[in-house]
Structure 1
Amino acid sequence: MKKYSSILLILIICALNTQNSVAQFRFSNLFGGKDKPRKNRLFEPNSTVSLGVGTSSYYGDISPYNRFLQSTVNGMRWNVNFNFTRQFSPTFALRFGLTYARISGDDNYLEGVKGYEGNFVRNLHFRNDIKELSIVGQYDLVRTSRSYLRRANIIPYIFGGVAVFAHDPMAKPDASLYGNGWVRLQPLNTEGQGLPGYANNPYSLISVSFPLGFGVKYKLNKHWDLGIEMSYRYTLTDYLDDVSGNFADPANLAAQSPLAASMGNRSLEKVAARSGKDRTQGVINYLTARGFYDPTAPYDPFTLTSIPGFSGKDDLRGNPSYNDAYMLTTVKLIYHIPSKIKCPVTR
């Protein structure tokens, strides 16, 4: 009996030693992998803040989509922004942004451009300061290992999300009548919005856009990156430029105020209000090509009571088929917020 007890004790000791060996075994060892503690393989979430400046461009009724390059350059203005980004994984981050951007457009950029003579005669312009709050998801195309301190020197990324913004289009009136300042357009109901006999209510000065873009981050040192990105924002409004539908009846606008009538139809202004350029020859060319002007018996076209196609409620002032958009390019300085200092594990 004592013999069997001794054999049983030996077997139990062998089994325990075998179990301990199996517990220490890692499948990756079959392929030469290193037996690293699991903790060293976990990604440490981190945060960044950034401050950027750049350009802004608008696309819509006054800067046509189908002249994308020219529209990008002609009305180019500026933007500034601040972002807070939380990196949740080696490739995914969530970003919250505040942006202040100015956009603008002017029909007089289209003087002499074939197919856009009517845009020039329309003679509208605007500027709009956009205040935007955005949240976007960002996907890095190069993975970051456990810590941001081990990030690659160059990381390209793509992003997309949603933004809410406030805007307020403005324009310069005829300086000979109203001085050289800027006036707000939405309260003037330039297309009859909200007036009796017109279907639409005044457009909202709060709207939504959908940012979509790409960028690149370049590592400067342990905590700082330099970034450059480009983003396109399609909006849910067609009134960034105060232009969308038909002309309003001048009499209806005049009943509201002389300024409303003046800003609703600007085709008979001799001087472009924003640039101060004389428009006479361009308007004469337009009228002559359409048989409305006799160059053999010249006269001042601005003495007309109206230009055909630019006066009645059935005449298009804009194109309601497409909403407005804007694009931002930004150069930014990015700071990686240091992680909390961790005490070493005591053994």
Structure 2
Amino acid sequence: MKKYKSLLTGLAVVLILTNHVTKSSAQRRPNTRFAPYSSVSFGAGSSHYYGDVAGYRRALRATYIMPRWNVGLGYTRQFTPHFAARATFTWARIAGDDYTFNKNNVEKYIAQYARNLHFRNDLKEFALTGIYNFVEDGRNSNQRAKFTPYLFGGLALVAHSPEARTPAPPDNEPYEARRWVKLQPLRTEGQGQPGREKPYSLVTVAIPIGFGARYRINELFNVGLEIGFRYTFSDYLDDVSGNGYGDPALLEGLATKMADRRFQVIAARKANGPDRYAPIKQLFDSGTPDQQLVVQDALTTSARGGSGITRDGYILTNLSIQYVIPGKIKCPPIR
């Protein structure tokens, strides 16, 4: 009898201990279900243009010769440990200038130098992108990875309107010298003339792709750095395409000065632009017959831009601060 009592007592102790261990293990076992979370961001960086005025074939020079700025806001939703979606609005300025881009090698790039076009363009970009994180997050925002490199890609809508400075006019010209004016209404490539295309749209679609990395500062903040290329479906971010010069007899007003700038002596983009015509004259006067022919062709060609097959694009770099929205907000007790 005593043996049975001892056995029952032993079983009871084992059951109690087992139950306690099971509860403790359950409490310590992590919940593997991922809790999605959101973040908002603000960032700024540089902008780099590629197109007819700064060609893809000289991409390295195009990247560093005339960088401009961008600022942006973003909202990101992390759906899984690896995948997120993001909506961003970015205001970016891009710019290009034939004189600045080619002044150090006039002989080799005489056609672009003689063309003497320039522009600036403020882009308003709204983008939706998907993000793949190479390092997975923990089960919630508090357990996200310390350092996360990622890739992104998506679709963007871009509003734009290229501008250029007016030239220095004679005293009797009815416009203000070196004033920034919008180019699309001037129809500088003869848009709308017989046999020409209609004026180009000031809204286009772009494909953003790139890579970046984020670093967790604490439970609520990250810092991020990324670089992304935008390939657009427009060849007119710079107001230059492959349609050539419009018929001067059909151009009106300021368009007659802004469409063909090959014979303007002063580079107009800067307020006190230098004499850009002297190198052309020197190359023609002292060059070989072949060089003289190249100069002559550059000043008389009907080509204004490239073929139009390759569209304009731009790169954006961005350094951002990201605020992680807490998953649960505790309300203070009502007293």
CA offset digits 1:134-190 (Å, max 9, x no partner): 100000010001011111211000000000010000000102353121011001110
Shift in Å at residue 291 of structure 1? 4.0
Question: How many positions carry a matched residue from both structures?
Answer: 296
| CA distance in 1 between partners of 2:63 and 2:291 (Å) | 34
| CA distance in 2 between partners of 1:58 and 1:293 (Å) | 30
Distance 1:214 1:293, change over 3 A: closer
Shift in Å at residue 35 of structure 1? 6.5
The answer (yes or no) to whether the contact 1:53–1:331 under 8 Å persists in 2 is: yes
CA offset digits 1:100-120 (Å, max 9, x no partner): 000000001212325322101
Pick one of 245, 269, 272 that aligns with 2:267: 272
The answer (yes or no) to whether the contact 2:240–2:304 under 8 Å persists in 1 is: no
Q: Which residue of 1 aligns with 2:278?
A: 281
Which amino acid is 2:255 matched to? A
Structure (1 or 2) with the larger CA radius of gyration: 1
Shift in Å at residue 36 of structure 1? 7.7
CA offset digits 1:188-247 (Å, max 9, x no partner): 11010112x232110000000000000010111111011000000000000000000211
Distance 1:293 1:226, change over 3 A: closer
SS of 2:169's partner is helix
- 1:193-212 map, 5 Å: 193-195=191-193, 197-212=194-209
The answer (yes or no) to whether the contact 1:58–1:327 under 8 Å persists in 2 is: yes
The answer (yes or no) to whether the contact 2:77–2:85 under 8 Å persists in 1 is: yes
Identity %: 43
Shift in Å at residue 293 of structure 1? 9.2
Is residue 2:159 matched to residue 1:175?
Answer: no
Q: Which residue of 2 aligns with 1:225?
A: 222
Which amino acid is 1:45 matched to? P
Shift in Å at residue 261 of structure 1? 1.2
| CA distance in 2 between partners of 1:171 and 1:105 (Å) | 10
Pick one of 290, 295, 319 that aligns with 2:307: 319
Q: Which residue of 2 aligns with 1:263?
A: 258
Distance 1:290 1:63, change over 3 A: farther
- 1:1-347 map, 5 Å: 40-108=31-99, 109-113=101-105, 115-177=108-170, 178-195=176-193, 197-245=194-242, 246-253=244-251, 256-257=252-253, 259-275=254-270, 276-288=273-285, 289=287, 291=289, 308-311=297-300, 314-341=302-329
Shift in Å at residue 248 of structure 1? 1.6
SS of 1:119's partner is helix
Q: TM-score, normalised by structure 2?
A: 0.82
Which amino acid is 1:214 matched to? F
| CA distance in 2 between partners of 1:252 and 1:310 (Å) | 20
Distance 1:293 1:165, change over 3 A: closer
- Comparing 174-183 and 119-128, the one that deviates more: 174-183
SS of 1:55's partner is strand
CA offset digits 1:61-97 (Å, max 9, x no partner): 0011111111011120000000000010001001000
SS of 1:112's partner is helix
Q: Which runs of 5+ in 1 are unaligned?
A: 1-23, 25-33, 295-305
CA offset digits 1:32-66 (Å, max 9, x no partner): xx768998110000000000000000000001111
| CA distance in 2 between partners of 1:121 and 1:218 (Å) | 48
The answer (yes or no) to whether the contact 1:310–1:317 under 8 Å persists in 2 is: no
SS of 1:102's partner is strand
| CA distance in 2 between partners of 1:133 and 1:98 (Å) | 5
SS of 1:120's partner is helix
| CA distance in 1 between partners of 2:96 and 2:218 (Å) | 40
Which amino acid is 2:79 matched to? F
- Comparing 124-133 and 114-123, the one that deviates more: 114-123
The answer (yes or no) to whether the contact 1:247–1:311 under 8 Å persists in 2 is: no
SS of 2:104's partner is coil
Q: TM-score, normalised by structure 1?
A: 0.80
| CA distance in 1 between partners of 2:110 and 2:288 (Å) | 11
Q: Which runs of 5+ in 2 are unaligned?
A: 1-18, 20-24, 171-175
Give the superposed CA RMSD: 2.5
Which amino acid is 2:268 matched to? A
SS of 1:72's partner is helix
Distance 1:213 1:293, change over 3 A: closer
